[in-house]
Amino acid sequence: MPDFAGFIYGSVWDVFFEKIDSNTEIPPMFLVNGGEDTGTPPAKCITLYSALLEKNVPTELHIYAKGEHSFDSGIKRGVSVATWRDSFVHWLTDIKIVAY
């Protein structure tokens, strides 16, 4: 099992919820989505976040107002969305994967 997983504007499929329900080993998850994402609407990420919390998986979710699907580094796509990389590193520090 990996030490963590970064789910950055990923597609959320129904099969994910089946896997979460049947799996006892899920790594800590960092979820990032753009509020303007029509490919993976924010509500799906919120549902995924909730499902992970129900399984006691350490999880952090960021939904930025700006940013469509595939906002890459976020630079020039909104001020707050460009900070997702820093948030990811801070989260890795919080769960003791890296020292910051």
pLDDT at 67: 72
How is the chain split into domains, by residue range? 35-100
pLDDT at 74: 52
Other beta carbons less than 10 A from residue 39's beta carbon: 14
pTM for the model: 0.85
- Give me the chain's average pLDDT, please: 87
Q: pLDDT tens digits for 22-42?
A: 988 999 999 999 888 888 889
Residue 56 amino acid letter:
N
Query: CA-CA distance, 4 to 95, in Å (whole number)?
Result: 9
> Average of pLDDT values for 51-61?
96
Cross-strand bridge partners of residue 31: 7, 61
Q: HSE on the CB side for 61, CA within 13 Å?
A: 16
> Average of pLDDT values for 58-77?
75
